Amino acid sequence: MTQLAGATVTITGGTGSFGRTMVHDLLKEGAGRIHILSRDEAKQDEMRQTLGDSRVKFFIGDVRDRHSVDSAMQGVDFVFHAAALKQVPSCEFFPDQAVKTNVVGSQNVIESAHAHGGRSVVCLSTDKAVYPVNAMGMSKALMEKTAQAFARNHPGSKTVVSVTRYGNVMYSRGSVIPLFISQILQGRPLTITEPRMTRFLMSLDDSVDLVKHAFFHAEPGDLFVKKAPASTVETLAIAVAELMGVEPDLRKIGMRHGEKMWETLLSREEMIKATDQGDYFRVPLDARSLDYSKFVEDGEDETVTAGDYDSNNTERLDVEQTKALVASLPEMQALLGGGR
């Protein structure tokens, strides 16, 4: 029996793909109550009917509204904070909205969890928060800083706040694998932005593992990433085409606005401090309390020699390995098993 048995868990953004995967897992683990806080009543209703489990309670609200956050935190033990604005273009056009949800909203969640005596808060971040080039990544980077500042400024708190950073989720809504599949089904060429571009490849189950690892192992202000392989987009396109039984027909469209050639899960400054925990890297909080000298007068020599952990230098999958990984996804198995 894990520590989740009988526990009350609040999930913000609980009707999204991360939230749903987490709910299924928590129910299996014997969680006592699960509080879902989210904005969309239709999605909540659909989820309520599909789950049919009275342990899951639904709260309509918005992380921007502290009062609504408080109502979902009654009796809470664990908090998984997944609510976010995460689309690159919408955050680019409305950065103030990204700040309200991703930064101010996260602060509300953390402070509310603290006020309600929560044991552990895990905030979901993204590789796009490292060396960010777009407003989505920048606002997520500030969310991370907000979580770490809470830990630094509340040393005696019984609420442990940590961050998990995540790469691309394979088969998530609007992402490139379902796009390639729909292009294949329509007999169209696969659009590739830039063949050499690399991305970490992760599954939703990996994310649940990472969050649970953080729930139980985090010290205040810790940041965790799960090690993951990567492929180029060209390899990914060929792999999907071959799995679907068609000749790869690729059309290059060029890099899109606000994207990078590769993503970084840990910067070199973080890699210097990181400890290798097997499947995970843990980066402890930089707990120098308001020590301005480290930012101004004293540098660190190791920073020069250490390297990032990014989708170019992690394990690189070839076409066969990428096919095996994509074929293991439940969505892909349903598609291939059901015929085309």
Ligand X SMILES: O=c1ccn([C@@H]2O[C@H](COP(=O)(O)OP(=O)(O)O[C@H]3O[C@H](CO)[C@H](O)[C@H](O)[C@H]3O)[C@@H](O)[C@H]2O)c(=O)[nH]1
The token pair that represents 246 in the structure block: 């068609």
Q: Which of 285, 296, 300 is nearest to 146 (CA)?
A: 285
| Whether residue 100 lies in the annotated active site | no
**Options 193, 267, 312, 321; binder of ligand X; rule CB under 6 A:** 193
Select which of 128, 140, 226, 323 is catalytic: 128
How far apart are alpha carbons 65 and 118 in whole angstroms?
A: 19
Residue from the set 27, 149, 179, 335 that interacts with ligand X by CB under 6 A:
179
Least separation in angstroms between CB 34 and ligand X: 24
Which residues, 6 or more positions from 122, have their beta carbon under 8 angstroms from its beta carbon? Answer: 78, 79, 80, 81, 162, 163, 164, 211, 214, 215, 218
What CA–CA distance (Å, rounded) separates 97 from 107? 15
Give the residue with the Cβ less far from ligand X, 3 or 193.
193
* Angstrom distance (rounded) from CA 241 to CA 326: 11
58 within 8 A of 80, measured Cβ to Cβ = no
Q: Which stretch binds ligand X (CB under 6 A): 42-50, 188-196, 271-279, 286-294?
A: 188-196
Q: Which of 3, 71, 157, 191 touches ligand X by CB under 6 A? A: 191
Give yes or no for residue 35 binding ligand X (CB under 6 A): no
Would you count residue 17 as binding ligand X (CB under 6 A)? no
For the bound state, the minimum distance from the C-beta of residue 306 to ligand X, rounded and expressed in Å, comes to 25
Other C-beta atoms lying within 10 Å of the C-beta of residue 106: 30
Does 182 interact with ligand X (rule: CB under 6 A)?
Answer: no
Instruction: Map the footprint of ligand X across residues 307-336, applying CB under 6 A.
Output: none
Q: Site mask, ligand X, residues 212-251, x = CB under 6 A?
A: ---------------------x------------------
Coil vs helix vs strand at 192: strand
Q: Which helix (H) or strand (E) is 309 found in, with range?
A: strand 309-310
Nearer to ligand X, 199 or 282 (CB): 199
Count the site residues for ligand X by CB under 6 A: 16
Chain-centroid distance, C-alpha 92: 19
Q: Does 176 bind ligand X (CB under 6 A)?
A: yes
Q: Under rule CB under 6 A, which residues in 60-89 are in contact with ligand X?
A: 86-88
Of residues 113 and 332, the one with the C-beta less far from ligand X: 332
168 vs 203 by CB, closer to ligand X: 168
Q: How far is the CB of 293 from ligand X (least distance, A)?
A: 36
259 scored as a contact of ligand X (CB under 6 A): yes
Q: Which is nearer to ligand X, 192 or 271 (CB)?
A: 192
Which lies closer to ligand X via its Cβ, residue 69 or residue 177?
A: 177
Q: Which residues pair with 166 in a beta bridge?
A: 126
Rg (CA), the chain: 20
Given the rule CB under 6 A, which of 68-76, 100-108, 191-199, 312-320 is the region that contacts ligand X? 191-199
User: 203-206: which pairs have CB atoms within 8 A and are 24 or more residues apart?
Assistant: 203/169, 203/170, 203/328, 203/329, 204/17, 204/18, 204/21, 204/169, 204/172, 205/21
Of 149-168, binders to ligand X (CB under 6 A) are 168
Burial category of 120 from C-beta neighbours within 10 Å (exposed 0-12, middle 13-18, buried 19 and up)? buried
192 part of the interface to ligand X, by CB under 6 A:
yes
The answer to whether residues 36 and 61 touch, using CB atoms and an 8 Å cutoff, is no
Cβ closer to ligand X: 74 or 175? 175
Catalytic site positions? 128
Q: Which residues are near ligand X by CB under 6 A?
A: 86-88, 126, 128, 168, 175-176, 179, 191-193, 197, 199, 233, 259
